[in-house]
Structure 1
Amino acid sequence: MPDELTEIPPAAYRQVLGHFCSGITVVTAIADGTPAGLTCQSFFSVSLDPPLVAFSSARTSKSYPAIQRAQSFCINILAQGQQALSTIFARSGPDKWRDVSWRPGRRTGSPILDGVLAWVECTTVAEHEAGDHFLTIGRVVSLEHTGATEPLLYFRGAYGRLAA
């Protein structure tokens, strides 16, 4: 067994892990009276009792500090056909909310985007530094699926869909 860890080239890491299909979410919050949001693939369930979820955001994100300050957030699970929302929230800038329809969440007021597959409102319970990302854990306080049936998926660097 080698004594030292092998250096993994970032391009190889990205290429291999790109073979793991993931859903696309937009994490939203209200900070200082203003909506904030970012596209996120790194979302997962952590615990059933208590109900906890987690997401990961790059430390370089311009949108994450507002979500951090809010101490609550909503995970909007995107439905097939919402690629435009994914793209809008993947970029920085004050105008990303210009043509986005949403309503405030029941418990946190965090934006629930129209047409999503499901949404999960949370209060922040922990944040951990993890390499070049932050890992945020939230306690679920409200959630709902909307009746949409197909998720927006991401696989090998492109959007995809479930096969029938």
Structure 2
Amino acid sequence: MRTTTPHISATTPDEIRDAYRTVLGKFCTGVVAVTALDDTGNPVGLTVGSFSSVSLDPALVAFFVGQGSTTFPKVAAHGRFCANILSADQHDLGRAFARSGADKFRGIDWTPTHAGSPRLTGAHAWIDCDIDLVQPVGDHDLVVGRVVELGATDARDPLLFYTSAFHQLSPA
């Protein structure tokens, strides 16, 4: 049996706070751009790295968003969103949607879902949802969406986030 010696170990609250990002950065996640329309009908969006399936019956998904987000209140006011699972070649889009304040849709191709939310061209997959629950948890809000429509492309690789950088799958 192979064992490794940890290069980071934290047990006190201060140590945990200092090591938290580094240790959690060792967990690989997909990259999702959450999109919606604002109250004037303009597209808005943000990048999330904490997206998950929740339930099959009813079909529910979830993500976490920082309570300081200036974009999420616009998504919440719309009452629905589209979770666009980004493809490996969409790292620039992932970075653009992670920035605050910019026109994130400048030069971005999209089509509306049946409910009207922006579905990003080239996304690996997409899940259109009605917001079912928003619940404060720590310094984030847990957002649960009830799936109303979904689809996937035949694109091979999703965009991944690992150790604070974007990556793609490689053959094992």
TM-score norm. by structure 2 comes to 0.89
Deviation at 1:149, TM superposition (A): 1.1
Amino acid in structure 2 at the alignment position of 1:64: F
Amino acid in structure 1 at the alignment position of 2:99: R
Residues 1:156 and 1:94: Cα distance change in structure 2 (over 3 Å) = closer
1:2-151 equivalent positions in 2, closer than 5 A: 6-8=12-14, 9-32=16-39, 33-106=41-114, 108-151=115-158
Percent of residue pairs identical: 47
Question: Secondary structure of 2:13's match?
Answer: coil
Q: Aligned partners of 1:10 and 1:154: how far apart in 2?
A: 21
Q: Aligned partners of 1:102 and 1:120: how far apart in 2?
A: 14
Number of aligned positions between the proteins: 159
Q: Aligned partners of 2:21 and 2:116: how far apart in 1?
A: 35
Cα root mean square deviation, aligned: 1.3
Q: Aligned partners of 2:17 and 2:73: how far apart in 1?
A: 25
Structure 1: which 5+ residue stretches go unaligned?
none
Structure number with bigger Rg: 2
Deviation at 1:73, TM superposition (A): 0.3
TM-score norm. by structure 1 comes to 0.93
Question: Secondary structure of 2:89's match?
Answer: coil
Structure 2: which 5+ residue stretches go unaligned?
1-10
Q: Aligned partners of 1:28 and 1:94: how far apart in 2?
A: 14
